[in-house]
Amino acid sequence: MRPTPPATHLPTAPPTRVRAVNDTPINHGGDFVLYWMIAYRRPAWNFALQHAIAHAAAAARPLVILEALRCDYPWASDRLHGFILDGMAANLRHLAARPVTYHPYVERTPGGGKGLLESLGRHACLVVTDDYPAFFLPRMVEAAGRKLPCRLEAVDHNGLLPLQAGVKYHSAAYHFRRHLQKVLPSHLEETPLPSPFDGVRLPRLPALPSSITERWPSAIDLIAASTRDCLAALPIDHGVSGGYAGGGITAGRGRLTRFVEGPLARYADERNLPGVEGASSLSPYLHFGHLSAHEIFWRVAKEEGWSLGDQSHETKGKREGWWHMSRGAEAFLDQLVTWREVGFNACVFDPRHGSFDSLPSWALRTLGRHELDARTHLYSFDELDQAETDDPLWNAAQTQLAREGRLHNYLRMLWGKKILEWSATPRDALDTMLRLNDRYALDGRDPNSLSGIFWCLGRYDRPWPERPIYGTVRSMSSPATARKVPVAEYLARYRPRAGRRRPSAPAG
């Protein structure tokens, strides 16, 4: 369903990025326009927010932003909640002087937030939300579309390429890269506003209806007091806490600046070295929407003195040299754009993308043929969760994931491959990888979680020489990894603590 754009002088989101979730008309008598912020949790570089602002300006109505945090979503923990609450605190600061009513809501008991969106929707002209294609969000948005008494529009701001412009499922990064080289330049002309409130005048809402704020009070006090202190009282997984980074747009921008001014130049050579901070560590900020891929892209482009039109006009899918940027920037953009967005493409165009059977047929065949191969080690889920294997490098990787919520990309590949080797069946391996990654990783529960984990089982790859258990799926081993990249310091840093077991992941 294509919505009709509002008559406004302010830029809306590009039409290819906007989808009407229901066919309920706009309520022209509504009191405000509501932006339901569920995935792009940021006040800047945000097509969905920009779209909502344009609608509010066209209707001469106030804008309300609802950023809600449920406590019963899968894997809700101190770590994930803490990161999101940091983001809410940053949004509160950014939006304080803007013409908008920001309503951050934190659910205290499961189901406590039920009815909040509909109640706000009864007063709204229309609701704008984020069109994120993974985790429980698509189901939640479709359900909201059925219940809301006004129009619900979902805006896709997942990446540089609008999801619909992917056109079809791309089974290899190479094919997707070729497609990007053909169509991305025209989409790059559509850049979201870095500061969408600049120069915007909107009427102010004196207050939200008290029937709403009394039942679903704003979490402003709670956020301002101390993000971490309030977590203990919430019914979430307290066995997973801390993490390597704090959330929010300000923290994300700090990390982006440090990366662009330092490691970016060496990224092509150092991104694969565990123990060296050679990568950007931006994935949680991308996952929770605290930073947009556009802001990161244009920050790199600025550093490189690059502008649109400087890229090659070839469309042969070459990995390096297409952007006409430095080696480091080319390598980084291949991850940020090709590898990141091919995962989003699968979520939209392959309905089976989350199931084992979506693997390429050669991978299914070869894994099936080797399913009964003898395993030298068969570890239980609990042993893997607790990093209690006979492989010190794998244990270090699992320890880093559990302790910090991140895992270096190179070791992440080894981590997944070994789980395949140590599980009774490839389906069990898939289940274990998803559970561990989604529970511990700050950037988990993402389209990239699926592409990375399914890559370990053959997706986006080709057949390699045949081995036991793996068949022709690419294998990896810890001794080979230790020969390729220095791991001594990493092993020392992430040694599992003897005798202290973490609370295990809940049964799946």
Ligand X SMILES: Cc1cc2nc3c(=O)[nH]c(=O)nc-3n(C[C@H](O)[C@H](O)[C@H](O)COP(=O)(O)OP(=O)(O)OC[C@H]3O[C@@H](n4cnc5c(N)ncnc54)[C@H](O)[C@@H]3O)c2cc1C
Binding-site ranges for ligand X (CB under 6 A): 271, 279-283, 286-287, 335-336, 339-340, 343, 409, 412-413, 416, 437, 441, 443-444, 446, 448-449, 451-453, 455-456
Closest contact distance (angstroms) between CB of 314 and ligand X is 23
Question: Cα(63)–Cα(53) distance, rounded to whole angstroms?
Answer: 7
Distances (CA, A) of 19 to 24, 132, 333, 454, 469: 13, 12, 28, 29, 44
Closest contact distance (angstroms) between CB of 270 and ligand X is 10
Closest CA to 391 of 468, 474, 478, 476: 478
Closest CA to 281 of 400, 107, 396, 384: 400
Nearer to ligand X, 280 or 423 (CB): 280
Nearer to ligand X, 68 or 456 (CB): 456
Closest contact distance (angstroms) between CB of 342 and ligand X is 7
Nearer to ligand X, 14 or 343 (CB): 343
Residue nearest to ligand X (CB): 452
> Is 382 within 8 Å of 503 (Cβ atoms)?
no
Nearer to ligand X, 218 or 338 (CB): 338
CB atoms within 10 A of CB 506: 11
Closest contact distance (angstroms) between CB of 289 and ligand X is 12
Can you tell me which residue has the tokens 């895992």? Answer: 407
Nearer to ligand X, 236 or 282 (CB): 282
Nearer to ligand X, 196 or 263 (CB): 263
Closest contact distance (angstroms) between CB of 164 and ligand X is 20
Ramachandran region, residue 92 (left: φ > 0; alpha: ψ -120 to 50; beta: rest): alpha
Question: Cα(465)–Cα(125) distance, rounded to whole angstroms?
Answer: 60
Question: Cα(86)–Cα(311) distance, rounded to whole angstroms?
Answer: 37
Closest contact distance (angstroms) between CB of 194 and ligand X is 20
CB atoms within 10 A of CB 194: 13
Nearer to ligand X, 191 or 409 (CB): 409
Q: How is the beta sheet containing 151-155 ordered, strand by strand? A: 18-20, 151-155, 124-130, 32-37, 63-69, 101-106
Q: What are the two backbone dihedrals, phi and then psi, of residue 97, each rounded to the nearest 5 degrees?
A: -100, 15
Closest contact distance (angstroms) between CB of 259 and ligand X is 7
Closest contact distance (angstroms) between CB of 61 and ligand X is 36
Closest contact distance (angstroms) between CB of 451 and ligand X is 5
Beta bridge partners of 77: 237
Nearer to ligand X, 120 or 456 (CB): 456
Nearer to ligand X, 104 or 246 (CB): 246
Nearer to ligand X, 113 or 159 (CB): 159
Q: Which residues touch 223 (CB under 8 Å, ≥6 apart)?
A: 85, 88, 89, 92, 104, 106
Ramachandran region, residue 355 (left: φ > 0; alpha: ψ -120 to 50; beta: rest): beta
3-state SS string for 188-235: HCCCCCCCCCCCCCCCCCCCCCHHHHHHCCCCHHHHHHCCCHHHHHCC
Closest contact distance (angstroms) between CB of 407 and ligand X is 7
Which helix (H) or strand (E) segment is 130 a member of?
strand 124-130
